[in-house]
Amino acid sequence: MGIRVENLRYAYGSKLVLRDISLFVNAGEYIGIVGVSGCGKSTLLKLLAGLYQTQSGVVEVHGACRPEEIRKNVAMVMQNTVLFPASIKENITCGHPMSEEVIWQACKAAQLTEWITSLADGIDTFVGEQGGKVSGGQAQRIAIARAIARNAPVILLDEATSALDGDTGSAVLAALDSLTRGRTVVSVSHRHETLANCSRIYKLEDGRLHSL
Ligand X SMILES: Nc1ncnc2c1ncn2[C@@H]1O[C@H](COP(=O)(O)OP(=O)(O)OP(=O)(O)O)[C@@H](O)[C@H]1O
Q: Does 54 bind Mg ion (CB under 5 A)?
A: no
Q: Does 42 bind Mg ion (CB under 5 A)?
A: yes
Alpha helices by DSSP H, listed for 6-128, are 41-48, 67-70, 88-93, 100-109, 113-118
Q: Does 118 bind ligand X (CB under 6 A)?
A: no
* Of 10, 21, 30, 43, the one binding ligand X by CB under 6 A: 43
For Mg ion, which is the closer residue by CB, 34 or 176? 34
CB of 113 to ligand X, least distance (A): 32
Q: Does 17 bind ligand X (CB under 6 A)?
A: yes
Q: Does 180 bind ligand X (CB under 6 A)?
A: no
Could you tell me if 152 and 73 are in contact, meaning their C-beta atoms sit under 8 angstroms apart? yes
* CA pair distance 64, 71, nearest whole angstrom: 9
Phi, psi dihedrals of residue 116, rounded to the nearest 5°:
-60, -45
* CA pair distance 32, 30, nearest whole angstrom: 7
Total residues in contact with ligand X, by rule CB under 6 A: 14
* CA pair distance 144, 57, nearest whole angstrom: 31
Q: Does 11 bind Mg ion (CB under 5 A)?
A: no
Q: Indicate left, alpha or beta for 18 from its phi (over 0: left) and psi (-120 to 50: alpha).
A: beta
Stretch that binds ligand X, among 20-28, 34-42, 69-77, 169-177 (CB under 6 A): 34-42
- Which residues, in sequence order, are bridge partners of residue 157? 77, 187
Q: Does 160 bind Mg ion (CB under 5 A)?
A: yes
For ligand X, which is the closer residue by CB, 161 or 178? 161
For ligand X, which is the closer residue by CB, 72 or 210? 210
Q: In Å, how far are 106, 122, 140, 150 from 102, measured between CA atoms?
A: 6, 16, 19, 9
* Of 26, 162, 170, 199, the one binding ligand X by CB under 6 A: 162
Residues at the interface with Mg ion (CB under 5 A): 42, 160
Residues at the interface with ligand X (CB under 6 A): 12, 15, 17, 35, 37-43, 160-162
